[in-house]
Amino acid sequence: MDTAAVNYRRYLEGDDEGMVEVIRDHKDGLTLYLAGIVGNIFTAEELTEETFFKLVVKKPRFAGKSSFKTWLYAIGRNMAIDHLRRSKRVAPIPENASDALAEEEAVESAYIVGERRIAIHRALKQLSPDYRQVLYLLYFEELTGDETAKAMNRTRRQVENLAYRARLALRSVLEKEGISNEDI
């Protein structure tokens, strides 16, 4: 069982420090993953908080059918999808785009080390949401194909096909930016 699952189980058994460790270990990655879905870092931060709030209040049981990270990201993804459905019914409130971009770059820079990874992350933003999600989960979060399939609510074969097409699209975007395979 992975450490996050152990920490969550500790929390369920009454040790609040277990949840603190889960949040510390997964907050940044979950936020960036959700930002790829909703397209806004501030909304992603709120959804990350709501995801952890759900764990604290409702205390869902982790069955262990996947890794804890996969389970957590699936919960976050479902919350993001719900948010997108709700926001279609409500007129969006315009935000200050320059502040959002500055905040997003600060989070990215803290999380993604090295100039090459930042260039790849920026190229990912130009891809479709499904392409961004599959590449992010497979390469940045290092989930397996099965874990990624569960997090995205798809079959493993669908994830393999999606990942193949996403890599081709990413390569095309990177080539347009002047970044070759050797630079990656």
**What pLDDT does 63 receive?**
87
pLDDT computed for residue 184 by the predictor: 54
Per-residue pLDDT reduced to its tens digit, 69-98: 999 999 999 999 999 998 876 545 555 556
CB count in 10 Å sphere of residue 86: 9
Residue 152: closest CA among 125, 128, 168, 119: 128
Structure tokens at 5: 């699952």
112 falls in which pLDDT band (50, 70, 90)?
very low
Per-residue pLDDT, 178:
72
Averaged pLDDT for residues 150-162: 93
Domains of the chain: 1-111 (1.10.1740.10), 113-184 (1.10.10.10)
Portion of the chain with pLDDT greater than 90, in percent? 54
Max Cα-Cα span within the chain = 53
| Confidence band of 19 (pLDDT split at 50, 70, 90) | very high
Nearest to 143 by CA among 129, 125, 156, 124: 156
Here the tokens at position 115 are: 């100039």
Q: Is 64 left (phi over 0), alpha (psi -120 to 50) or beta?
A: left
Q: How far apart are CA 158 and CA 40, in angstroms?
A: 26
Across the range 130-138, mean pLDDT stands at: 90
The pLDDT score that the predictor gives to residue 27 is 93
- DSSP secondary structure letter of residue 9: H
- What radius of gyration, in Å, describes the C-alpha atoms of the chain? 17
Percent of the chain residues topping a pLDDT of 70: 79
pTM: 0.62
